[in-house]
């Protein structure tokens, strides 16, 4: 009986919504209520101009009809690849809910005022770290990073007035594809796909 109850819950979770963003928001809210750590964590997959792929975990900071936003150093590997090849894929995996969401689309920079507003909400040490770190580039010794952080503290002694570095901003993935994956018994998983069609979405299913 317990297994049947789980199955019923999983089936109801996959009910189609005409707007994939609303579907995603429902699942994210449920993950936020139950996941022990970082329900907004997502894998970001990028590729170089030559097609060499790379993936890493980042944090979703905003999701609205314009797209999915994350922030980073614009000179990092991920940003350099997005400049060369402005398409990417996201993957959310909520293990406790046995769910995944895959999202694909083009990537565009966020507006400077958006980046400024978000940067101002970060803790002071995180803002100073954005000045101290040459993200993704070789670090000869940890002491070098710590010295650069101390130099940033001396340069910006007022925590409330640490400006956003020009090399730090955000990217917005504009989705044209969603896949909602729900674990089911015996690997007969449910996979529901939204594919952009004009100004709307076509909904279909995939074999597990």
Q: CA–CA separation, 128 vs 124, rounded Å?
A: 6
Out of 11, 127, 187, 190, the active site residue is 187
**Helical pair 124-132 and 142-155, crossing angle rounded to 10 deg:** 120
* Of 208, 186, 183, 206, residue with least CA distance to 11: 183
Burial class of residue 188 (count of CB atoms within 10 Å of its CB; 0-12, 13-18, 19+): exposed
- The residues facing 55 across adjacent strands are 45
77 is catalytic: no
* Half-sphere exposure in the Cβ direction for 126 (13 Å, CA): 10
Q: CA–CA separation, 64 vs 16, rounded Å?
A: 19
Q: Which residues are catalytic?
A: 187
């Amino acid at each position: 009986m317990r297994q049947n109850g789980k199955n019923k819950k999983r089936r109801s979770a996959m009910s189609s919504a005409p707007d994939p963003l609303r579907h995603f928001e429902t699942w994210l809210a449920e993950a936020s209520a139950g996941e022990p750590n970082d329900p907004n964590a997502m894998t970001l997959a990028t590729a170089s101009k030559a097609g060499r792929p790379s993936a890493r975990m980042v944090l979703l900071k905003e999701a609205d009809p314009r797209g999915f936003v994350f922030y980073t150093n614009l000179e990092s590997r991920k940003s350099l690849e997005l400049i060369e090849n402005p398409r990417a894929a996201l993957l959310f995996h909520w293990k406790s809910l046995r769910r995944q969401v895959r999202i694909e689309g083009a990537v565009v920079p966020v507006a400077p005022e958006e980046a400024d507003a978000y940067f101002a909400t970060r803790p002071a040490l995180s803002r100073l770290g954005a000045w101290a770190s040459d993200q993704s580039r070789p670090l000869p010794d940890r002491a070098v990073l710590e010295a650069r952080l101390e130099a940033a503290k001396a340069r910006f002694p007022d925590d409330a007035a640490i400006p956003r570095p020009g090399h730090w901003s955000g990217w917005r993935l504009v989705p044209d594809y969603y896949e909602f994956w729900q674990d089911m018994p015996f690997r007969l998983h449910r996979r529901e796909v939204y594919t952009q069609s004009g100004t709307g979405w076509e909904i279909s299913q995939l074999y597990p």
